[in-house]
Amino acid sequence: MRLLIIVTAAAFATVAQAGTLEEVVKHGIVLSAPGVEIEVAYTPDGKFTAAEGQVTGTWRIDGDKFCTTSNFEPAEQCVEYPRDKVSGDSFDVTGPAGTATIKIK
C-alpha cells in the first residue's frame, strides 16, 4: 500500500518544468522504490494508469509541479520535478510518501 502511495505521489506528482514535464507525459515513466518498479502511462486528457491498471487517476501541471489524484490517494498530491530531463534520464523525487527514482521511458 505504501508503495502505491509513493507511486501515486511521485508518478502523478509534479511533472516539473517544461522539458521534463512534456517528456514525462509523452513517454511515461518507470517509478522505482525499494524492491519494486512500476510503469506509469499518461494520456493527453489528464489521466494516468499505473501498476498494470491497479492505479488510475488524473494529473495536471501546476508551474514546476506535477499534481495527481488516484483511486489509492484521492487527495491531490503535487511533486516538484527537476528541469531539463529527457527520455532515458533518471532522477529522484520526494513527495509526501517518501523518495522514489523516476526514469523517463
Task: Report the CATH number that the domain containing residue 84 is assigned in CATH.
Answer: 2.40.128
The per-residue pLDDT for 56 is 98
What pTM value is reported for the model?
0.80
CA 24 – CA 46 distance, rounded (Å): 12
In the chain, which residues have pLDDT < 50?
Answer: 3, 5, 9, 11-17
Say how many domains are in the chain: 1
Residues 6 and 98: beta-carbon distance below 8 Å: yes
The per-residue pLDDT for 17 is 46
Residue 11 phi/psi, 5-degree rounding, is -70, -35
Look up the domain containing 96 and give its range: 2-104
Cα–Cα separations (whole angstroms), residue 83 to 24, 50, 90, 96 = 12, 23, 12, 20
